[in-house]
Amino acid sequence: AQTVTQSQPEMSVQEAETVTLSCTYDTSESDYYLFWYKQPPSRQMILVIRQEAYKQQNATENRFSVNFQKAAKSFSLKISDSQLGDAAMYFCATTINQGAQKLVFGQGTRLTINP
């Protein structure tokens, strides 16, 4: 069964600093995608960044970047120049069943930004 593990229940960072959120996964899929979603206190999940497993190049979206280590099944999220609006629960997820592409989520990391 596919599993996603986020080992950091909570993280905090000073505003303008950089923080890295960890994620490891286990999958039997040969082709899959990885995602980081953000869930602010209003509870709507928002896509932060996605990575195709067949691509070696790490994905980047403005201040957000990933470190994708396929052999180690690791997919960490780096947030640079942290802003107060980055405070949220962050969920790592992978797709299972290539056709359905349903998501399997980790348990989340609560990120606090200290002003």
Partner 1 sequence: DTGVSQNPRHKITKRGQNVTFRCDPISEHNRLYWYRQTLGQGPEFLTYFQNEAQLEKSRLLSDRFSAERPKGSFSTLEIQRTEQGDSAMYLCASSLVFGGARVAFFGQGTRLTVV
The pair of three-digit structure tokens given for residue 106, joined into one six-digit string: 């980790």
The neighbour count for residue 88, using CB atoms within 10 Å, is: 22
Q: Is 57 in the site for partner 1 (CB under 8 A)?
A: no
Rg of the Cα atoms in the chain: 14
Q: Which of 8, 22, 80, 105 binds partner 1 (CB under 8 A)?
A: 105
Q: Is 4 in the site for partner 1 (CB under 8 A)?
A: yes
Q: Given the complex with partner 1, which of 19 and 104 has the nearer CB atom?
A: 104
Is residue 5 within 8 Å of 104, Cβ to Cβ? no
CA-wise closest residue to 48 among 58, 59, 35: 35
Tell me how far, at minimum, the Cβ of 61 lies from partner 1, in Å.
13
Positions that interact with partner 1 (CB under 8 A) = 4, 33, 35, 37, 42-47, 50, 52, 91, 93, 95, 97, 100-108
